[in-house]
Structures are given as C-alpha cells and as structure tokens.
Amino acid sequence: MYFLPDQAIEYDKARMKMEGIGQLTLFVQDERSAAAWLRNYLKNKPCKYQDIQPEFFAQLNVGWKKWETRPELRPLLDQYFLCYTGEGDVPPQIHSYLSTNFKDLRNLPSDHAMLRAKARDRWYVPDPRKDADVEQVREKHLLEEFWSYLPPGYEPAARSKKMQAGTQLRMEPMTPKIVKGKRIAVVRTEAVRVGFNFCFKENDNDTIIAVARHIPEDVIQNDEQLQMIYDIALTRKGVEFE
C-alpha cells in the first residue's frame, strides 16, 4: 500500500494539525497506523534499521488487530521513507537532528565527512516540498513496479542483496536461473528504465535479461538506453544477442 503524493501531503497537514493541538497518541493496529507511527518516530529521530527494529516490534505487540497481517519493517521503510547512503550532502532532516543532539557535529556543513559518516544508513521522512526527496520516492515506487514485471517464481539477486543489507544479514547471494516464458502485454517504460539502471549498478545481469525476455520486445528495441543496458548484460553473461 502506498500513499499517493496528494495523499501524503494531506496526511502531513492532518498530522501537523493534530500535533499543534497536543501530543499525538498513536496506537499501531494495522499497516496504515504502523506507517504513521514510523513517520512520527523518524520525524523526531532519523535512525538506523537496527535501532528502529526493537521499537517497532514493541508497538506491534500492544494493540494490533488480530485479523491484520503483520507487516515486515523493511518493506514499510522502503515504501514510505528514504535512507541516506552516505553519498552527497546529508539531508536537512538528518542534519538538524544530529547537530541538535551531538555537540561535535554542530555547525558542520552538510558535506562534512564526520557528519556524513554519522548520518549514513539513517532512515528519514521525505519532505514533499523538496524535489530531490520527491524524485527519490518516485523512483522507489517505480522500482517496486519494475519488480512486478519479473517472470513467475523469479527472485532477483539485486533485490535480495538490498533486503539482506537492510536487515543486517550476511548471506551469499544466489545466482538465479534466467527464466523464459510468455511475455506480458503492457508495461510502464519509465519503471523499466529505473529497474534496469538499478540492476545495472548492482551488476545483476540475470534480472535485466529475464525482464527483457518477459516484457514486450518493442520496449527494449525502441529505447536506446534500455537496448544498451540489455546488450551489455548479454555480453557480461556470455549470452548470444537475440
């Protein structure tokens, strides 16, 4: 479940109105309230996965509806929030928290090495008014749509690696088989671009080839960037050009 951009803005307005009246009391009962709790928690304290996890699961044990499926933390974070990877300037949301709570980090520029190291891997609430945050959220949603184009039963190495990193697991990624099957009829090219670029950076050539064989051929043939990435993936895997 996703908040559309307009819904997210309306949610923020409602939340700020409630906070203006007094302390926001939030009982986690379902996925929506779990996402709202995370939003409130990370707004006050951008932090790493391992710090969020015990607090989050403690909330699930309080008032969770017995008929509701319990959500996993990592997918919720991926859907609604952003994580600073240590590259580029530290986001203002994290910068403000760190400079307020750590004396040695006060008055440092957003690109300072010490600040970036402390901020790395912290999750934070996107600012709907900032183009960079909006674009990151957009790409996350497009990537999620890209995963829906996978052949049935196929698990991409790039996504497995990302999930393992988020849960602090250390596992050797398995190399999946390249699956062939009936092509799907309709896709969103922009989602394919985001997915191909993500897999290319992760060196997951199997997934690029598997998806290319599962979506309409015209999608690849009519887009120079997608064709180039696909050709490179074939070359890397030693697969003959089709």
What is the rounded distance in angstroms from the CA atom of residue 124 to the CA atom of residue 94?
7
Alpha-carbon separation of residue 151 from 18, 89, 154, 182 (angstroms): 45, 38, 6, 9
Sequence-separated (6 or more) residues with CB below 8 Å from residue 89: 110, 111
Contact 115, 108 (CB under 8 A): yes
State the CB neighbour count (10 A cutoff) for residue 111: 10
Q: pTM for the complete prediction? A: 0.60
pLDDT per residue of the chain (242 residues) written in tens, 0 to 9: 444 444 444 445 444 443 433 334 467 888 888 889 999 999 999 999 999 999 998 888 877 877 778 888 998 898 889 999 999 999 999 999 999 999 999 889 999 999 999 999 999 999 888 878 888 888 888 898 999 999 988 888 777 655 544 444 333 334 444 555 688 888 889 899 999 999 999 999 999 999 999 999 999 998 999 999 999 999 988 875 55
DSSP string, the chain: ----HHHHHHHHHHHHHHHHHS-------SHHHHHHHHHHHHHH--EEHHHHHHHHHHHHHHH--TTSPPPPHHHHHHHH-EE--S-SSPPHHHHHHHHHH-GGGTT--TT-HHHHHHHTTEEE---TT-HHHHHHHHHHHHHHHHHTTSPTT---HHHHHHHHHHTT---PPP-PPPP--PPPS---HHHHHHHHHHHHHTT-HHHHHHHHTTS-HHHHHT-HHHHHHHHHHHHHHTPPP-
Return the pLDDT at 16.
43
Return the pLDDT at 97.
94
Any idea where the domains of the chain sit in the sequence?
9-129, 136-237
Return the pLDDT at 160.
63
Buried b (16+ CB within 10 A) or exposed e, 182-203: eeeeebeeebbbbbbbbbbebe
Query: Residue 30 burial (CB < 10 Å; 0-12/13-18/19+)?
Result: middle
